[in-house]
Amino acid sequence: MSRYKIAPSILAADYANFEKELKRLEETGVDYVHIDVMDGHFVPNISFGADVVASMRPHSKLVFDCHLMVSNPENHIDTFARAGADILTIHAEATVHIHGALQKIKAAGMKAGVVINPGTPLATIEHVLNLADQVLIMTVNPGFGGQAYIPEMADKIANLVALREAKGLSFDIEVDGGIDDQTIYSAKAAGANVFVAGSYLFKGDLQARVDSLKAALHD
Ligand code: DX5
Ligand code: ZN
């Protein structure tokens, strides 16, 4: 499998037809399904919770990449493990116990991801990077799909690549927000290898748009 991965965000899919949407995603040859969980507190918007993830689980073999935009994510780790999450990514800003929460995710049998908002410095997560299987750099402010990619995040990604090298670690670097067939080049050049895309993929011909992202990654 390629080291590059595409993670379509079902936040932009048809909520009344998740089963159909999951099937059609699987047919396009993507790697992950990115599932955005929002609590109306950490972010202004409310999306869906663990019960929805559990109901989707029997309908897909893809990796469930769950992005929790919720306050105190440590309270929801076991619930998401039971629901069938494969990767659980939590915001450093959402808990005062990020280290313990990442340990708890791994102990629950999932891959651990840590994510920071555009305004949060990398130093916030420097001392937990050894616990992370994936680090997500937000390229928009979380809460809504369809926002514009923030180009300044390319520097943050490049700095994270340097930090990973200095520490001898091997976590994946994911980007999320405003990714399309143009902005993906900036994130890729900076060193990201997992690319979330919501509106770009679902607001057009899904297969053609997946193929366009894949083509950009192999340019
Ligand atoms: C934003 C979410 C994203 C969102 C991306 O809070 O974390 O995953 O679905 O959507 P697009 O690709 O439309 O920016
Ligand atoms: Zn997301």
Condensed to tens digits (0 to 9), the pLDDT of residues 97-142 reads 999 999 999 999 999 999 999 999 999 999 999 999 999 999 999 9
Can you give the residue ranges of every domain in the chain? 5-203
Q: What value does the mean pLDDT of the chain take? A: 97
Q: CA 209, CA 180: separation in Å to the nearest integer? A: 9
Please tell me the distance from the alpha carbon of residue 159 to that of residue 124, in angstroms, as a whole number: 13
CB-CB neighbours of 129 under 10 Å: 17
Among residues 31, 36, 51, 133, which one is catalytic? 36
Q: What is the largest CA-CA distance in the chain?
A: 46
Instruction: Answer whether 0.95 is exceeded by the pTM.
Output: yes
List strands edge to edge, sheet with 172-176.
Answer: 5-8, 194-197, 172-176, 134-138, 111-116, 87-91, 63-69, 32-38
Is 176 an active-site residue? yes
Catalytic site includes residue 14: no
When the candidates are 3.40.50.300, 3.20.20.70, 3.40.1260.10, 3.30.1200.10, the CATH number that belongs to 5-203 is: 3.20.20.70
Contacts of 119 (CB under 8 A, 6+ apart): none
What ligand 1 atom has the least distance to the C-alpha of 146? 13
pLDDT at residue 1 is higher than 80: no
Residue nearest atom 10 in ligand 1 by C-alpha distance: 145
